[in-house]
Amino acid sequence: MTGRKDIAKTENKTIEKTRELRTATPSVDIYENENEILLFADMPGVHKDDVTVNIENGKLSIFGVRRLDRQGASTWEEFVDVEYVRSFSIPQAINVEDVEAKLKDGVLTLHLPKSEAAKPRQIEIKAA
C-alpha cells in the first residue's frame, strides 16, 4: 500500500462555456401624486453608465445590464450577468422634456412630471 488514497478522480476536460445574458424583469413600484408619477425600479449591481431610459410614442422603456467582475476560475456561480428589461405605457400628459432619472443603491428612480394641463385644478365658483 502506498499510503496515498485518491478519493475521487476527475478528468481534466476543457468545457466550452457560452455566456449569454440572462434577462430579468426588475421589480417596480409606481406612485402618482398631483404633480408627477414616480417610478422605482430595483436593478441591483447596475452602474449608471449601463442604464438606458427611453420614452417614445407613449411607451417608457427601461434597460440595464449588470456585469460582474470575475477574478479567477469559477467553481460555483449563482450570480450571473443580467440584462434588466421593462416597458410601460405612459399617459400623453407626461412632460417628457422634464423627466429625471437617478440611480442610487441599485434603485432607479424616475420622476415623470405631469404637464400643466393634466394637473388637477380647483375651479373658483362665482356668485351669479
d(CA 8, CA 100): 58
Q: How does pLDDT run across 64-122, given as a tens digit for each residue? A: 999 888 888 878 888 889 999 999 999 888 999 999 999 999 999 999 999 877 666 77
**Cβ 41 vs Cβ 28: under 8 Å:** yes
Residues β-bridged to residue 15: none
Its pTM stands at: 0.73
Q: Which of 103, 83, 112, 114 is nearest to 41 (CA)?
A: 103
> Would you list the domain boundaries of the chain?
44-69+78-116
d(CA 6, CA 63): 50
Range name among 1-15, 24-38, 93-107, 108-122 with the lowest pLDDT average: 1-15
Q: Which of 89, 95, 90 is nearest to 117 (CA)?
A: 95
Domain topology for 44-69+78-116: Immunoglobulin-like (2.60.40)
Question: Does residue 22 carry a pLDDT above 80?
Answer: yes
Written as nine digits, the cell of 2 is 502506498
